[in-house]
A and B are shown apart, each in its own frame.
Chain A
Amino acid sequence: MADRFAPGDTVRTSTTDPVWHTRLPRYARGAVGRVVEVAGHHPLADDRARGLPGTTRAVYHVRFAAADLFGDGDHAVTVELWEDYLEPADPSGGTP
């Protein structure tokens, strides 16, 4: 299956707070960032942790401005995120 996103795409992370193991860190939920690179294809950690059969899907390095995660700060944080955690975002950073 084709990757849903490509480097340069602006994405918004999920705000879902699942009861199971997930690898979308809480501080990076509901945030807008930019895809830096495709970092391979792997089964979703959430599925594997629950013993579910998982097909591989794209994992991305997504770069966030600290101000967009925490409200302030001048650094950047790059988080590695499965495609399932991401939705396309308005490039201007506004709420779609």
Chain B
Amino acid sequence: MSGNHHGSSAISERVRHVEALLEARGLVDEGEVDRRIDEFLAGGSPANGARITARAWVDPDFRDRLLADANAAIREVGLSMAGGLQEQRLKVVANTEDEHNVVVCTLCSCYPIALLGPSPAWYKSEAYRSRVVRDPRGVLAEFGLELPTTTRISVWDASAESRYVVVPRRPEGTDGMSEEQLAGLVTRKGLIGTAAV
């Protein structure tokens, strides 16, 4: 990855070497890789996912559109999955009383950066990636999320081209809150599915 990528592992060494070769052979301009990564990350923040969630809570029609065609629906609120080399397909799944959703990328660390910003370290850890598909109820309990046994758990493995965002359930006692206030309740973990909200 980029020059400011932390760590000094063998992989980082290799990446720096490949970057240098690409520049030396004129395939990319000096600093272009860093600039492209900066562009990709620009504007990416969990606040975006929170805005979408709050809108879905207050507007059932928006929620329906979001679950049916998320790429089109998020454009309504000025967001897009087109920040990278190509527009990524977005799949939004909503938690209900009966079903709780949680997202993982078992093969690497695919993540909806445009809507959630850079992924947390635990999301990329081998422990999370290997265990959450096998024992999601146990892993969620370790995150402090104890689900009733009557709530089914659906794990979504971002193994190909789609990226996933979870719409948490709207907390009780929030009827009087504005959309902006509601957005303030939503956390990054809630949008991945490792927290209730």
Contact = CB atoms under 8 A, between A and B. Distances in A.
Contacts of B153: 74-76
B89 A39 contact: yes
A20 to B, nearest CB: 14
A7 B89 CA distance: 18
A94 B38 CA distance: 50
A59 B155 contact: no
A80 B162 contact: yes
Contacts of A75: 136-137, 152-155
A39 B134 CA distance: 24
Contacts of A24: 159
Contacts of A70: 134
Contacts, number: 67
Interface in A27-61: 27-28, 39-40, 42, 45, 59, 61
Contacts of A39: 89, 91, 160-162
Given A25-B106, A27-B106, A39-B89, A74 B160 contact: no
B89 A25 contact: no
B34 interface: no
Interface of B: 89, 91, 106-107, 133-137, 152-162
5 contacts: A39-B161, A40-B89, A74-B153, A76-B152, A77-B156
Given A73-B134, A80-B157, 19 more contacts: A23-B159, A25-B107, A25-B159, A39-B162, A40-B89, A40-B161, A40-B162, A45-B160, A66-B134, A75-B136, A75-B154, A76-B155, A77-B154, A77-B155, A77-B156, A78-B156, A79-B159, A80-B158, A82-B160
